[in-house]
Structure 1
Amino acid sequence: MVKVRVKYFLWLADKAGCSLEEILLDNSTLFGLMEHIKASRPKLSKIIESILQGSSEIIVLVNNSSPRTLNLELKDGDEVVLMPPVSGG
């Protein structure tokens, strides 16, 4: 099993009900993590589904880098960040 930290930013934290959580995973890929979040955080399920389908504008970072694939193997202690696109004016 792998333990990862997930940080939710801005309105994603409101939908998740927290801004930070630690998750234990059997399937230690980024895809597996997204599936876990989708199942455990119903208010995020549509957003996570769009990430899984590759049609989301949500920014996903793993250890401060953009992953090239959802098949990325996560390691114990990795940090995953989910945040909406930032705009300003």
Structure 2
Amino acid sequence: MFNYSVATNYYIMKLQKKQEERLQKMIEEEEIRMLRKEMVPKAQLMPFFDRPFLPQRSSRPLTMPKEPSFGNVHSTCWTCVFNNQHYLYHINHAHA
């Protein structure tokens, strides 16, 4: 009886494994089919050889770089930023 139950369980596991493999194969085939539909080559427009593309210069004024301003360093007190939870500290705190 024991041998029969072991053989039955083995056979059932084998069938389940085959079923899972079959299902996995069907899913993969469907994915491949969908990818092939998406990857259909599409025709590209031919370039105009008689009128080549020449980029035009922008009419906007050039951007001029600004000098950095280091005089505004103390506008944010980092001790205040890190001690944000201490409200009384902010009231009595004097910035140097």
Q: What range describes the TM-score normalised by the shorter chain of this pair? A: under 0.3
Structure of higher RCO (CA pairs closer than 8 Å, 6+ residues apart): 1
Q: Name the TM-score, length of structure 2 as normaliser.
A: 0.15
- If the length of structure 1 is used for normalisation, what is the TM-score? 0.16
Structure in which a larger fraction of residues adopt strand: 1
Name the structure with the higher helix share.
2
Higher gyration radius (CA): 2
